[in-house]
Amino acid sequence: MSKQCDVCGKKKRVGGSITRRGLAKKAGGIGTHVVKNVKRTFSPNLQKIRVRINGGVRTMKVCTACIRSKKIAKA
């Protein structure tokens, strides 16, 4: 199974983790500079829960945003 929400389709996203060096201007330095930019992935917070669908009960992978917004009925 993929790391994807069965309700809204939320899945892994690619982004960057920026590393900076130097003392901030506010603290008396000459400012921070970007040293490197590393690619990383952002995963959704998926939970395996039992969901009531069409009178039956099924286990689904659902993100916490869908659980909080009551898009599904927990069994």
Q: Per-residue pLDDT averaged across 41-59, rounded?
A: 95
% residues pLDDT > 70 (the chain): 99
Total structural domains within the chain: 1
Q: Per-residue pLDDT averaged across 47-65, rounded?
A: 94
Instruction: Please tell me the predicted confidence (pLDDT) of residue 1.
Output: 55
Verdict on whether the full-model pTM lies above 0.75: no
Amino acid identity at 72: I
For residue 62, which of 52, 13, 54, 42 has the smallest C-alpha distance?
52
Q: Which domain holds residue 62?
A: 13-68
Q: Per-residue pLDDT averaged across 10-19, rounded?
A: 96
Is the sign of the CA dihedral 59, 7, 40, 29 positive or negative? negative
Residue 75 in any domain: the answer is: no
**Tokens encoding 36:** 């490197």
> What count of Cα atoms within 13 Å lies in the side-chain half-sphere of residue 75?
13
Q: Per-residue pLDDT averaged across 15-39, rounded?
A: 96
Residue 63 in any domain: the answer is: yes
Residue 8 in any domain: the answer is: no
Residue 1 in any domain: the answer is: no
Q: Per-residue pLDDT averaged across 55-71, rounded?
A: 94
